[in-house]
Amino acid sequence: MAWWWGLSQKLALILLLALALPSSSVLAGPVVDRIKASGVIRCGGVPRPGLVGQPTDGRRASGLYLDLCRAIGAALLGQDGKVEFHAYDSDQAFARVADGADDLFFLDGSEIGDHSLAGAATPGPPVYFISTAAMVHGDASIREVSDLASKSICFYQGDDAHLSLEAAMAARRLDFVRMGYMEYGELRDAYAARICDAEVGESGDLAAARLAERSAPTSRILAEPLAAFPVFAATPASDPRWSAIVAWATYALQRAELPATAWRAAGLRSLPVEGRDLGLPEDWATRVVGAAGSYAEIYARNLGESSPLKLPRGANALSELGGLFVTPSRE
């Protein structure tokens, strides 16, 4: 039994050393260590209008994803941290997720499933709800989805917007004239030529297409979406501490705009965690919001009223304000 006694002494010594370490060291993980050592947070996502893209002035990529990346990175790096963004615009590009080459991935469920990433990426909170919608000509009398009954509708054959359209009209027991295309250019040309009364697609793509119109009044995107699905702030499965930081930083951005009431704490004061719980300085939430503004400001700048796209918040607001973001809070 001497061997067991010796092993027990070694295990006890290891346990004592572990308990003696600061809590932040116990929580430290490979992604957190890598970000701190390099001073860079590496993010990636699929390019979409307003989410990530090249601005017309040709300077640098911008979008909601990049602002979120910068803000979340500030939790660890402060205002001096750098952002490196990678566009997942091909099957090969998604290898960065599988290999853990990036620190933060903006992914929807289809992207995770289609590229077999469920074991490599841990989904965090939603950061954006992509909606599929219908766009109609500016002078049309169509105001809501039910008004599309018997109308000719252009769509890309078999994509999410087409499937959402079929489901929405079937649920309302309404029929319509199907105008399916296999080329997006042909679809847009048919809509511009008024061969169809409406075009369906992701709301960001529709808003971008609307910017190119030369006739007035410009097209309208119906406020009632056909469907909506979330994009998650996903992280490498190798570092639970980093996953927690990303989740709470996202909640901080989303809650920052929330006003105080007689029944509810205001903004960042309503967060139920302290910096020490995450191994972060006590001003971590202020650093996050200070890097790029609140989620409301980020949205307005990239997709909302302060952007060319002019997309309303809709689902992309806190549940308390009529949206779909549900966040933990201190009551």
Both structure tokens of 147 = 């008004």
Indicate whether 220 and 233 sit together in one domain.
no
Q: How far is the CA of 139 from the CAs of 154, 170, 178, 202, in angstroms?
A: 18, 26, 21, 21
pLDDT at 257 over 60: yes
The CA distance from 48 to 52, in Å, is 6
As a whole number, mean pLDDT of residues 99-107 equals: 97
The CA distance from 30 to 273, in Å, is 22
- Tell me if 17 is assigned to some domain: no
- Tell me if 15 is assigned to some domain: no
pLDDT at 18 over 70: no
Note the pLDDT tens digit of each residue in 44-78.
999 999 999 755 444 567 899 999 999 999 999 99
25 — pLDDT class (breaks 50, 70, 90): very low
* DSSP H helical ranges for the chain: 2-20, 23-27, 30-38, 64-77, 95-98, 109-114, 160-171, 184-192, 203-211, 240-255, 275-278, 284-292, 295-302
Note the pLDDT tens digit of each residue in 196-233.
999 999 999 999 999 999 888 999 999 999 999 999 99
- Tell me if 12 is assigned to some domain: no
Of 201, 226, 251, which closes a domain? Answer: 226
Quick check: 228 and 129 in contact, CB under 8 A? yes
- Tell me if 252 is assigned to some domain: yes
Percent of the residues in the chain that have a pLDDT greater than 90, as a whole number = 82
Of 205, 226, 247, which closes a domain? Answer: 226
Q: What is the pLDDT of residue 60?
A: 67
pLDDT at 3 over 50: no
Quick check: 28 and 242 in contact, CB under 8 A? no
Indicate whether 271 and 216 sit together in one domain.
no
pLDDT at 2 over 90: no
Indicate whether 162 and 303 sit together in one domain.
no
Indicate whether 112 and 239 sit together in one domain.
yes
- Tell me if 287 is assigned to some domain: yes
Q: What is the pLDDT of residue 55?
A: 53
Torsion of CA 77, 88, 243, 98, to 10 degrees: -120
Q: What is the pLDDT of residue 11?
A: 34
Indicate whether 124 and 166 sit together in one domain.
no
Q: What is the pLDDT of residue 237?
A: 94
Q: Give the CATH number of the domain where residue 176 resides.
A: 3.40.190.10
Q: Which residues contact 23 (CB under 8 A, 6 or more apart)?
A: 276, 279
Nearest to 315 by CA among 219, 209, 213, 203: 203
- Tell me if 113 is assigned to some domain: yes
Indicate whether 146 and 104 sit together in one domain.
no
Quick check: 93 and 87 in contact, CB under 8 A? yes
As a whole number, mean pLDDT of residues 139-154 equals: 97
If one counts the domains in the chain, the total is: 2
As a whole number, mean pLDDT of residues 178-189 equals: 96
Indicate whether 270 and 211 sit together in one domain.
no
Q: What is the pLDDT of residue 213?
A: 93
Q: What is the pLDDT of residue 262?
A: 76
Of 194, 226, 258, which closes a domain? Answer: 226
Indicate whether 194 and 55 sit together in one domain.
no
Q: Which domain holds residue 294?
A: 28-129+228-321
pLDDT at 300 over 50: yes
For residues 3 and 77, the model is more confident at 77
As a whole number, mean pLDDT of residues 252-271 equals: 87
- Which DSSP state fits 90? S
